[in-house]
Amino acid sequence: MSKQARADTGPELALRRLLHSRGKRYRVGWPVPGMPRRKLDIAFTKAQVAINVHGCFWHGCPVHATWPASNAAWWRQKIEKNKMRDEETRAHLENLGWTVVEVWEHETPEEALERVMGALQPRPAAGNGESASGTVDSAG
């Protein structure tokens, strides 16, 4: 597993290229506030929009995940733990007022770009003077 890329994956790079071509500037590998050792794939810090690009295998895509037959129990536990960590991170960021966009590797870069651009649009007030936050997720 140590040879598995953790950053700068093909889907991340494709999305970053499209964002950059649209004039969007972002941070890469931005630390999640209050969560040591966790980083965002792409962060728009002023807009408080977090982008995580998930591999279908490693993060248990509900559409394309596969389970290895060899050492199945270990892999299932590993992937379920990854999913739990993703959920903890998402909930933590949303509690801080961030919008979280989860992109799956099976999405086209253009589909991902559309969802990210939507999340970057000004958000309506939540009624108490604060911005609304939420998750933008698409598994299909």
Give residue 39's pLDDT band: very low, low, confident or very high (50, 70, 90). very high
pTM for this predicted structure: 0.82
Answer yes or no: are the C-beta atoms of 16 and 65 closer than 8 Å: no
- In terms of phi and psi (left: phi > 0; alpha: psi -120 to 50; beta: otherwise), the region of 30 is beta
CA distances from 131 to 48, 82, 91, 121 (A): 10, 29, 16, 12
Helix (H) or strand (E) holding 90: helix 72-95
> Confidence band (pLDDT; 50, 70, 90) for 66?
confident
Secondary structure of residue 112 in the 3-state scheme: helix
Chain mean pLDDT for the chain:
88
Residue 134 per-residue DSSP state: -
Beta-bridge partners for 51:
42, 101
Class of 10-120 in CATH? alpha beta
Residue 1 has pLDDT above 80, yes or no: no
DSSP 8-50: S-HHHHHHHHHHHHTT---EEEEEPTT-TT-EEEEEETTTTEE
Q: 82 phi and psi, to 5 degrees?
A: -60, -45
**Is residue 81's pLDDT more than 90?**
yes
Residues with Cβ within 8 Å of 124's Cβ and at least 6 positions away in sequence, in order, are 132
Gap between the Cα atoms of 112 and 115, Å rounded: 5
